[in-house]
Amino acid sequence: MALSTSTRVATRATIAAAGTSVAPGIPLPDNCSQIVFLNRSAAQVVLIGQGAPGGALLDNGTNTAVPAGATLTWDVGVRSKRLDPLTDLIYDCDAANANLDITYLCHSGVS
């Protein structure tokens, strides 16, 4: 991913049906150090994992769960400081469908 020219980048993961993981509309920029997730669903748990989109993510402790209506913030560091580049984040839900708002907080000119 390239550098963001903004200090805040907003995107959304729209999950049409449980078991069909999706990639975010905008992947994590290299110079963004935090990710804020907001699960806008009324009842569905959104799952965050890594891999190729399309398959199911399981709520079995191997993926991160964001309860309905909840927020979660990850401090991930800029790309040069990350243990994992996080280039393959994908999202799924436990039932029906869900929307996950994703906001990346970025630093100018830092990667």
Least confident of 34-38, 52-56, 78-82: 78-82
pTM: 0.92
Does residue 37 register a pLDDT over 70?
yes
Which CATH class, in words, describes the domain spanning 8-106?
Answer: mainly beta
What mean pLDDT comes out for the span 49-68? 93
Distances (CA, A) of 89 to 40, 47, 93, 108, 109: 18, 10, 14, 23, 23
